[in-house]
């Protein structure tokens, strides 16, 4: 048990692991080789029970290694990791009863049917035959796999196989579900369906989900909180909204009716509190605002007061792309190449 | 208790998969028949070489040899299930579940033992149909089943260990080529080692394959030296246990490497 407790980033004092489903502190993991690969370099993360937490980062950032350590598959060289207050290195058996793992690779047995895969997973977690069958039917229904339930898993499409993987992970009602890149390789339709399923998981707050992804959109949509991981460390952490707000830079764009007004409009807008860096381009005026939604009425009032006609106003929130760029120093697309 | 249940579930999984591959199932049964009849005909007359100490027909002599040979070849592929599971996420999922490594090994060994015993019974059936008769059939068949299962478990554990350490199907081909074949031919499986060069006879004394053949043939003779049979079976059991531990150790090494 680690006694050195670091204050949570959210500001709430953490005096015990209560309320935290997952806690990793200063995880270091180096894989041998020439040269050795330092997969984790002091990664720390805390996940509140009942939430969806996203680990976002490029391939090789350390996301999967973190999942492997938290799910008892790998051991960290140093640092501590806890699941539901249990140390993963010292109480792996108790941890394993509480977690479900959906790894990157398909994790069903291709020579068994969907139902048999589920029932076996349940039985291995100590469920009675009857309970396992009942739970399997429930999950097949929920993931709309009932029609394919008694077909061999090897005949499943990519989307169906992935849903079966998640269902297998949920069979024993784990407290914590690890989803390692659940939608990588899925077509857009199957991805949308998977997102809807993960959102449903989050609704009842019974299950804590640790999701790794290299899709910004996925993290943005699914994660209550997320950590951007780069070179084996957490670069920044917060809710998607917090991270985007922290950039202090909504973009307010005003389309003016008359080009002659741009000069006056620029000085008026530049004088509004919380708005800055006005730039004129043709008939449009763009400015950065601390809070775009609050700035719009002020901008409109100022222009209206000066008799300047406005054709349209748009507010663009910073995207996770902007967040990633500002913290990692590279665009996400560059990293994906 | 839980560990036993886990092993049972994992054995069931493999047996079920086998029933879904009729070609594979058929191959498992046809292959030993070919060996039995082919070798039985090919070397039919070696029995007449002076010094060949066997009173029955060559078919009767070779039956336990083919049974053990079949167990060897069948078991060499036991690690395949781990390689398939590692290639997918099945191994990770099992290792992150309450299933113990020992149960995973035991599940595979039990599966191999069951298929080996089925093959053994089929081979006895074919041998009888071809005219073989064993004076000590009752006790002999039971002893042969045990011996074949034990030698199968030894090779299965070895195959599992190699699969976990090397993680390539190709490595299992190596087991057939470099372990199974030499072990088979350095035993009295198809040839009385008293007619072999003395070094072969010496090596055979330390060869588990020979122990299995000797124990089976002795029990089938109807005038068995039970001390000899028990001694050989005991040695087989000891080696089986040791190699199963080795396989469990390979699991530890695999886990450390991931």
Count Cβ atoms below 10 Å from residue A337 Cβ, excluding itself.
5
Q: State residue A329's pLDDT score.
A: 66
What is the value of pTM for the model shown? Answer: 0.83
3-class SS of residue A108 = coil
Mean pLDDT of chain A, nearest integer: 87
Q: A-chain residues within 8 Å CB-CB of B98?
A: 93, 96-97, 124-126
A58: confidence class by pLDDT, cuts 50, 70, 90: confident
- Please report how the helices B226-257 and B137-166 are oriented relative to each other, as an axis angle in degrees rounded to 10: 20
Least confident of A200-214, A217-231, A307-321, B163-177: A307-321
The pLDDT tens digits for B28-61 are 888 888 889 888 888 888 888 887 877 788 999 9
At residue A16, does pLDDT exceed 70?
A: no
Q: How far is CA A175 from CA A17, A51, A205, B37, B167, in A?
A: 15, 11, 10, 59, 32
Alpha carbon distance, N-terminus to C-terminus of chain A: 40
Residue with tokens 């719009």: A296
Statement: residue A275 has pLDDT above 90: no
pLDDT, tens digit, 9 for 90 and up, residues B57-106: 899 999 999 999 999 988 999 999 999 999 999 999 999 999 988 999 99
Q: Which long-range contacts (CB under 8 A, 24 or more apart) does B250-258 make?
A: B250/B160, B250/B161, B250/B162, B250/B164, B250/B165, B251/B101, B251/B104, B251/B105, B251/B164, B252/B101, B253/B164, B253/B165, B254/B164, B254/B165, B254/B167, B255/A73, B255/A74, B255/B95, B255/B101, B256/A75, B258/A68, B258/A73, B258/A74, B258/B92
Q: What is the mean pLDDT of the segment spanning A133-162?
A: 96
Asked whether B36 and B127 are in contact (CB, 8 A), the reply is yes
Cis peptide before A270 (omega within 30 of 0): no
**What is the average pLDDT across B16-36?**
87
**pLDDT score for A2:** 37
| Residue in the block written with tokens 């399997």 | A136
pLDDT of amino acid A127: 96
Cβ neighbour number for residue B12 with a 10 Å cutoff: 16
How large a percentage of chain B has pLDDT more than 90? 65
Cα dist from A314 to A118, A220, A264, A274, A292, whole Å: 50, 21, 20, 17, 9
Q: What is the token pair recorded at A62?
A: 């350390």
pLDDT over 50 at A258, yes or no: yes
The pLDDT of residue A267 is 86
Out of B9, B255, B256, whose CB is closest to A124? B9
DSSP per-residue codes, B126-165: HHHHTT---TTHHHHHHHHHHHHHHHHHHHHHHHHHHHHH
Mutate to test the interface with A, among B86, B93, B95, B253 (most CBs of A within 10 A): B93
In 3-state terms chain A splits into helix, strand, coil percentages (rounded to 5) of 40, 30, 35
User: What pLDDT is attached to residue A3?
Assistant: 38
Q: pLDDT at position A337, please? A: 54
CB-based contact B252:B101 (threshold 8 Å): yes
DSSP A259: G
Q: What is the pLDDT at residue A10?
A: 40
Lowest mean pLDDT among A103-107, A257-261, B149-153: A257-261
- pLDDT value at residue A244: 80
Residue B34 confidence (pLDDT):
87
**Is residue A5 very low, low, confident or very high in pLDDT (cuts 50, 70, 90)?**
very low
pLDDT in tens, A110-146: 999 999 999 999 999 999 999 999 999 999 999 999 9
Q: What is the pLDDT of residues A204-224, one digit of tens each?
A: 778 999 999 988 889 999 999
Report in angstroms the alpha-carbon separations of A148 from A134, A153, A164, A169, A287: 16, 9, 10, 18, 54
Q: Give me chain B's average pLDDT, please.
A: 91
Contact map slice: B 60-89 vs A, CB within 8 A:
87-89
Residue with tokens 């490497």: B257
* DSSP code string of A271-299: TSTTEEEEEEETTEEEEEESSHHHHHHHH
Tell me the residue length of chain B: 258
According to DSSP, the β-strands at A176-180 and A208-213 are: parallel
Assign A91 to helix, strand or coil. coil
At A306 the pLDDT is 86
Q: Are A54 and A213 in contact (CB under 8 A)?
A: yes
Work out the minimum CA distance from A256 to partner chain B, whole angstroms.
Answer: 57
Asked if the model's pLDDT at residue B250 lies above 60, the reply is yes
- Residues 147-206 on B with a CB inside 8 Å of A are none
Distances from the Cα of A51 to the Cα of A197, B81, B92, B102, angstroms: 14, 36, 24, 35
Enumerate the residues of chain A whose CB falls inside 8 A of the CB of residue B93.
101, 103, 107, 121, 168-169
Helix spans in A99-128 (H): 114-124
Q: How far is B74 from chain A (nearest CA, A)?
A: 19
Kindly list the domain boundaries of chain B, sorted by start residue.
3-257
pLDDT of residue A1: 38
Average pLDDT over residues A101-108: 94
User: What tens digit of pLDDT does each residue of A276-298 get?
Assistant: 777 787 888 877 788 888 888 88
Q: What is the mean pLDDT of residues B128-149?
A: 95
Tell me the β-bridge partners of A83. Answer: A22, A86
Q: Is the pLDDT of residue A18 over 60?
A: no
Q: Are A124 and B97 in contact (CB under 8 A)?
A: yes
CA atoms within 13 A on the CB side of A235: 21
- Chain A window 110-139: which residues touch B at a Cβ cutoff of 8 Å? 110-112, 116, 120-121, 123-126
* pLDDT (mean) for B109-113: 96
Locate B98 and state its tokens. 């309450």
Q: Long-range contacts: B136-139, Cβ < 8 Å, 24+?
A: B136/B219, B136/B220, B136/B221, B136/B222, B136/B223, B136/B224, B137/B220, B139/B219, B139/B224
Q: Which two tokens stand for residue A77?
A: 């060289």
Higher pLDDT, B34 or B234: B234
Contact B88 A105 (CB under 8 A): yes
For residue A17, the model assigns a pLDDT of 42
Is a pLDDT exceeding 50 seen at residue A176?
yes
Q: What is the pLDDT of residue A4?
A: 38
The mean-pLDDT minimum among A11-20, B73-82, B184-193 falls in A11-20
Mean pLDDT of A180-208: 89
């Amino acid at each position: 048990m680690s006694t050195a407790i670091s204050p949570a980033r959210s500001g709430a004092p953490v005096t015990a692991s209560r309320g935290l489903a997952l806690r990793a502190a200063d995880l270091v993991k180096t894989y041998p080789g020439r040269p050795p690969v330092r997969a984790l370099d002091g990664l720390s993360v805390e996940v509140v029970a009942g939430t969806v937490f996203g680990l976002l980062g490029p391939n090789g950032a350390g996301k999967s290694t973190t999942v492997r350590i938290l799910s008892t598959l790998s051991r960290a060289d140093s640092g501590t990791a806890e699941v539901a207050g249990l140390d993963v290195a010292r109480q792996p058996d108790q941890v394993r009863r509480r977690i479900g793992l959906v790894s990157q690779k398909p994790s069903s047995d291709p020579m068994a049917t969907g139902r048999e895969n589920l029932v076996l997973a349940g039985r291995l977690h100590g469920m009675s035959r009857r309970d396992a069958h009942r739970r399997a039917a429930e999950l097949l229904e929920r993931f709309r796999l009932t029609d394919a339930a008694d077909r061999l898993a090897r005949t499943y499409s990519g989307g169906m196989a992935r849903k079966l993987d998640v269902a297998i992970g949920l069979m024993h009602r784990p407290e914590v579900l690890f989803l390692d890149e659940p939608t990588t390789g899925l077509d857009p339709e199957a991805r949308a369906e998977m997102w809807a399923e993960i959102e449903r998981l989050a609704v009842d707050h019974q299950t804590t989900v640790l999701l790794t992804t290299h899709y910004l959109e996925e993290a943005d949509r699914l994660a209550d909180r997320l950590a951007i991981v780069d070179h084996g460390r957490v670069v920044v952490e917060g809710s998607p909204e917090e991270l985007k707000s922290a950039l202090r830079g909504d973009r307010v764009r005003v389309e003016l009716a008359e080009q002659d007004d741009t000069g006056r409009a620029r000085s008026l807008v530049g004088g509004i509190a919380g708005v800055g860096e006005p730039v004129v381009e043709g008939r449009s005026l763009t400015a950065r605002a601390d809070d775009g939604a609050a700035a719009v009425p002020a901008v409109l009032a100022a222009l209206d007061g000066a008799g300047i006609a406005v054709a349209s106003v748009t507010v663009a929130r910073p995207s996770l792309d902007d967040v990633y760029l500002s913290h990692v120093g590279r665009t996400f697309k560059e990293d994906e190449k | 208790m839980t560990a036993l249940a886990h092993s049972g579930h994992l054995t069931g999984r493999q047996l079920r998969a086998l029933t879904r591959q009729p070609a594979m199932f058929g191959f498992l049964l046809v292959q030993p028949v070919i060996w039995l009849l082919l070798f039985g005909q090919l070397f039919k007359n070696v029995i007449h070489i002076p010094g060949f100490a066997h009173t029955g027909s060559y078919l009767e002599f070779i039956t336990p040899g083919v049974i053990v040979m079949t167990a060897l070849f069948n078991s060499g592929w036991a690690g395949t299930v781990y390689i398939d599971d590692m290639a997918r996420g099945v191994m990770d999922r099992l290792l992150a579940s309450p299933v113990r490594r020992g149960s995973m090994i035991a599940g595979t060994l039990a599966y191999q033992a069951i298929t080996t015993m089925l093959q053994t019974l089929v081979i006895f059936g074919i041998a009888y149909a071809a005219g073989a008769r064993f004076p000590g059939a009752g006790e002999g068949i039971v002893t042969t089943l045990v011996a074949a299962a034990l030698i199968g478990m030894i090779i299965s554990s070895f195959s599992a260990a190699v699969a976990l350490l090397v993680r390539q199907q190709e490595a299992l081909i190596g087991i057939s080529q470099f372990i199974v074949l030499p072990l088979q031919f350095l035993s009295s499986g198809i040839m009385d080692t008293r007619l072999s060069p003395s070094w072969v006879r010496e090596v055979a004394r330390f060869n588990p394959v020979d122990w299995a053949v000797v124990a089976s043939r002795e029990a089938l003779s109807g005038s068995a030296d039970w001390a000899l049979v028990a001694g050989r079976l005991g040695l087989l059991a000891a080696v089986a246990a040791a190699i199963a531990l080795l396989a469990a150790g390979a699991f530890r090494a695999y886990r450390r490497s991931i």
